C-alpha cells in the first residue's frame, strides 16, 4: 500500500504525471491492452497446442537429469547424445515444461543430427516449483508496471536464462545453439545477450523484445477467448493443458517474470550470435511486427515470415521450421 500512498501524495501536490487527464486515458487504454495480452497468454497458446495431435511417449523414454541453478533444481532431458553432434538447447514458452514440445517436433530435429537438450523451465515439470511464493494479483501488478513501479515476481527472465547455463554446465558444454518459442524466445534472447560466449546461434520463434510500442493481440485472439470461456470448457481446457506439459498455476508467475524484466530492446541490440527470427503470418497473440522488431535490433539477423502459421507449432510446419533452423545452424557451426 506504500505505492498507493505515494501516488496519492504526488497527485495532491501536482508532481506526478497522473495529474494530467490524458495520461489517465492512456493508462486505461494500455492496461486494457495488457489485459487482453494476459488472457490470451493464459489460454490461446495452450489451447492451440492441445488442439493438435500430441504424444510424449518418446520424450518420456529419456532419463530425467538435474542441474543446480544457484539453489534452484532444474530438470532436463537429452536426446541423440553424441560427442560429435551439434548441441541444441530448446526453451519452451509460458507455463510449458519440456514435454510441451511433443514427440514429433523432437524427433524431427533429431533426424537432422542434433543432440537436443530439453529443459523444464523453473516452475514447470520436475524443476523446482514456486507455489509457496503464491499467485500474483495480475491486474494490480500490471497496473504497477504501467505506472513505472516494480513488479513483484519470484524470478526474472535473467534467472531463467541462468537456469539454461546451469544445464549446459552440468553437461560440460562450453557452447550450444539455442531455440526458444514465445516466452522461451525471450529467454533465448536473454541468453544470447548475457552469455555471448556460450551461445553459438540463436533461433527466436514467435517471440518479442517486449517493447511497449508493439501491437497488442488481435481481435481474433479475443474472439477465441470468448468462444472458450467458462464452465466445462474451462475445466476441459486446463486438463488438456496439463496433459501436454503446461502448468496453469505457473503461468501467472512466468508472466510476472516477463513484466519484471520489461522492455529488452537495448539488451537485444547487444546480441552478436548469428540470429534467425521466425514468426507466423497469422499469429494473433504476438503479431508479426514483434518478430520484425526483434530482427531489426540484431546486426545481421535474418527474419522469415511463415505463411499461415499462428502462435503454435503444428506438425504441418515442422519440416519448414526445422529446415530453416538447421540451415541457419549449419551455416555457422564450426
The answer to whether position 174 is within a domain reads: yes
Residues 6+ apart with CB under 8 A from 108: 318, 319, 322
What CATH number did the domain enclosing 131 receive?
A: 3.40.50.1820
Please state, in angstroms and rounded to a whole number, the distance separating the CA atoms of residues 285 and 312. Answer: 10
**Range of 275's domain?**
36-332
Name the one residue in this structure whose C-alpha cell is 486515458.
25
Q: Which of 126, 147, 161 is nearest to 268 (CA)?
A: 161
Q: Are 257 and 157 in contact (CB under 8 A)?
A: yes
The answer to whether position 20 is within a domain reads: no
pLDDT in 10s for each residue of the chain, 334 residues: 343 333 333 333 333 334 444 544 454 455 555 544 554 454 445 444 444 578 899 999 999 999 999 999 999 999 999 999 999 999 999 889 999 999 999 999 999 999 999 999 999 999 999 999 998 887 788 888 888 888 899 999 999 999 999 999 999 999 999 999 999 999 999 999 999 999 999 999 999 999 999 998 776 555 554 444 444 455 566 777 777 888 888 888 998 999 999 999 999 999 999 999 999 999 988 999 999 999 999 999 999 999 999 988 889 999 999 999 999 999 988 6
The answer to whether position 8 is within a domain reads: no
DSSP state letter for 214:
S
The answer to whether position 28 is within a domain reads: no
Name the one residue in this structure whose C-alpha cell is 508493439.
214
Number of structural domains, the chain?
1
The answer to whether position 126 is within a domain reads: yes
User: Which cell numbers in the block locate residue 287?
Assistant: 503479431
Amino acid at each position: 500500500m506504500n505505492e498507493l500512498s505515494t501516488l496519492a501524495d504526488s497527485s495532491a501536490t501536482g508532481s506526478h504525471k497522473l495529474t494530467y487527464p490524458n495520461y489517465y486515458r492512456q493508462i486505461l487504454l494500455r492496461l486494457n491492452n495488457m489485459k487482453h495480452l494476459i488472457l490470451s497468454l493464459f489460454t490461446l497458446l495452450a489451447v492451440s497446442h492441445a488442439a493438435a495431435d500430441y504424444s510424449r511417449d518418446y520424450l518420456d523414454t529419456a532419463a530425467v537429469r538435474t542441474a543446480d541453478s544457484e539453489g534452484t533444481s532444474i530438470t532436463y532431458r537429452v536426446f541423440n547424445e553424441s560427442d560429435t553432434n551439434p548441441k541444441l538447447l530448446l526453451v519452451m514458452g509460458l507455463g510449458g515444461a519440456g514435454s510441451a514440445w511433443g514427440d514429433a517436433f523432437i524427433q524431427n530435429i533429431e533426424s537432422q543430427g542434433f543432440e537436443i537438450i530439453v529443459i523444464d523451465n523453473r516452475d514447470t515439470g520436475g524443476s523446482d516449483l514456486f507455489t509457496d511464493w503464491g499467485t500474483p494479483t495480475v491486474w494490480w501488478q500490471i497496473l504497477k508496471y504501467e505506472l513505472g513501479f516494480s513488479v513483484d515476481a519470484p524470478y526474472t527472465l535473467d534467472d531463467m536464462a541462468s537456469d539454461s547455463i546451469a544445464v549446459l554446465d552440468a553437461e560440460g558444454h562450453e557452447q550450444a545453439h539455442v531455440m526458444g518459442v514465445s516466452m522461451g524466445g525471450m529467454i533465448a534472447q536473454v541468453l544470447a545477450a548475457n552469455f555471448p560466449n556460450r551461445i553459438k546461434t540463436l533461433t527466436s520463434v514467435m517471440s518479442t523484445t517486449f517493447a511497449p510500442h508493439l501491437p497488442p493481440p488481435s481481435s481474433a485472439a479475443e474472439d477465441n477467448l470468448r468462444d472458450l470461456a467458462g464452465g466445462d470448457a474451462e475445466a476441459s481446457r486446463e486438463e488438456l493443458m496439463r496433459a501436454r506439459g503446461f502448468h496453469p498455476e505457473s503461468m501467472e508467475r512466468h508472466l510476472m517474470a516477463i513484466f519484471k524484466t520489461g522492455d529488452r530492446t537495448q539488451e537485444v541490440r547487444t546480441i552478436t550470435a548469428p540470429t534467425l527470427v521466425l514468426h507466423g503470418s497469422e499469429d494473433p497473440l504476438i503479431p508479426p511486427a514483434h518478430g520484425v522488431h526483434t530482427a531489426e535490433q540484431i546486426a545481421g539477423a535474418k527474419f522469415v515470415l511463415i505463411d499461415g502459421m499462428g502462435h503454435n507449432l503444428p506438425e504441418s510446419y515442422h519440416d519448414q521450421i526445422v529446415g530453416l533452423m538447421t540451415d541457419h545452424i549449419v551455416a555457422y557451426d564450426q
